[in-house]
Amino acid sequence: MNVQTHLETLSVAIGARPVGSEANRAAEQYIARVFENAGRVAERQSFACFDWKLGATELCVNGDALEARANPYTLPCNVTAPMIFVSTRRELERAAMENKIVVLHGELAREAYFPKNFKFVTIEEQQHILARLERGRPAAIIAISPQEKNPAPIFQDGDFEIPSVTVASDVGAQLLQQHDARVALRIDATRSAARGANVIATSKTDARKKIILCAHFDTKPDTPGALDNAAGVAALLASAQTLDTKHFPFAVEWIAFNGEDYYSAAGQVLYLEKCGNEFENILLAINMDGIGWNASRNSIAFFNCASEFENAVMARAGDIARVEPWYQGDHSLFAMQGLPCVAFSSQGAEVVIDTVIHTAHDTLAIVDAQRVAQVVEMTAMILRLHEDADVNNLNPARVDSVRV
């Protein structure tokens, strides 16, 4: 099993691989090559995207430099302007923002905004706020995060046409004391047209029904993405290399999704467009995202699954922890259609999303290759369950409603 080789290639030799980048294309080519060398039938689903590159970000108030983080996919800017402070919807509606730098704080900056054209989640309140900001035509936005350290970006949206940065709460406190100051903000960023692709491999079979194994291979900018998600892709590739599928009464489809960490989820949207009419043939989808963290145990969550199937899996799960269903991953494509899904991750990984995952700290040093291999073995076991059992009784292909 070549788990360690895949981990090193993706997170060290290739490194950060955001959608649209040369590194992302290198990862795509590597994955396709592994699939083909394993004797699988591979194809690529190509989509348009852009490659976002960031240079320097500078924020100065009265000549003093303050630390700011450019929000991913932001437009560039180089402006000096007065600030206007808004913390509530009422203040926002009444604010005269044109050619000013809007400082969002309080309830307007307490959580991240979903991209305004995101296909899978729409929050009406956020849509109103984004639309009002764009109508106001400010020169730029400074969002004050409630976090004191490593503030998560408030915006990650390539369709949002206002340059923006996020600052930590302590920097925000300084800004809030400078109401009459003029602020200089420079963001050196570029967007250029590019292409990305999902890479899909199938077992050689004429079976109509299929089980899907999936993992995303893209990353946020500037992170090696070892845990998120070289580990999941390593398990996906090792499965394609080692799984004996010749006796299965169903096909196996391995999907390396591209775009889970891209603002518009372009790869997932494309897959739905091209393959959504085949969903009735899916017996089960298994996603691997954030597995193998060396500070925890692997975890498993079930969606729309029969209790008999869940019990059969957990009886063979060893030290893998069962956790509550979570929807921040590629399995949501299938779970939201009422299909049975299994999601593998690491227990407790959600608490380090903005301090380790999605940062430069997500390196190979925090991934245990043996724990990644454990997920490879578990997925093989789950497929064998479907080989040996009456699948229709064990795990119905579709349920009437999604359990959330």
pLDDT band (50, 70, 90) for residue 392: very low
* E strand intervals along 129-250: 140-144, 164-167, 182-202, 210-216
| pLDDT at residue number 182 | 86
- The pLDDT tens digits of the residues spanning 181-216 come to 889 999 999 999 999 999 999 997 788 899 999 999
Give the integer Cα–Cα distance in Å for 54 and 257.
24
Tokens of 309: 């199937």
Inform me whether the pLDDT recorded for 400 exceeds 60: no
**Residues 250, 211: contact at Cβ < 8 Å?**
yes
Q: CA torsion, points 212, 245, 310, 200, in degrees to nearest 10?
A: -10
Mean pLDDT value across the chain = 92
**What is the mean predicted confidence (pLDDT) over 47-73?**
94
**What is the mean predicted confidence (pLDDT) over 351-374?**
91
In percent, the amount of the chain with pLDDT more than 70 equals 96
Inform me whether the pLDDT recorded for 134 exceeds 70: yes
CATH value of 59-192 in 3.90.226.30, 3.40.50.2000, 3.50.30.30, 3.90.1150.180: 3.50.30.30
- Within 10 angstroms of residue 377's Cβ, the number of other Cβ atoms is 16
| pLDDT at residue number 152 | 87
Inform me whether the pLDDT recorded for 166 exceeds 70: yes
Topology of domain 3-47+195-394, CATH = Aminopeptidase (3.40.630)
Give the integer Cα–Cα distance in Å for 370 and 146.
37
- Tell me if 3-47+195-394 shares its fold with 59-192: no
| pLDDT at residue number 390 | 52
pLDDT band (50, 70, 90) for residue 1: low
In percent, the amount of the chain with pLDDT more than 90 equals 81
- The pLDDT tens digits of the residues spanning 219-274 come to 998 899 999 999 999 999 999 999 998 889 999 999 999 999 999 999 999 999 99
Q: Where are the domains of the chain?
A: 3-47+195-394, 59-192
pLDDT band (50, 70, 90) for residue 344: very high
Question: The whole model's pTM is what?
Answer: 0.90
Closest CA to 67 of 142, 157, 155: 142
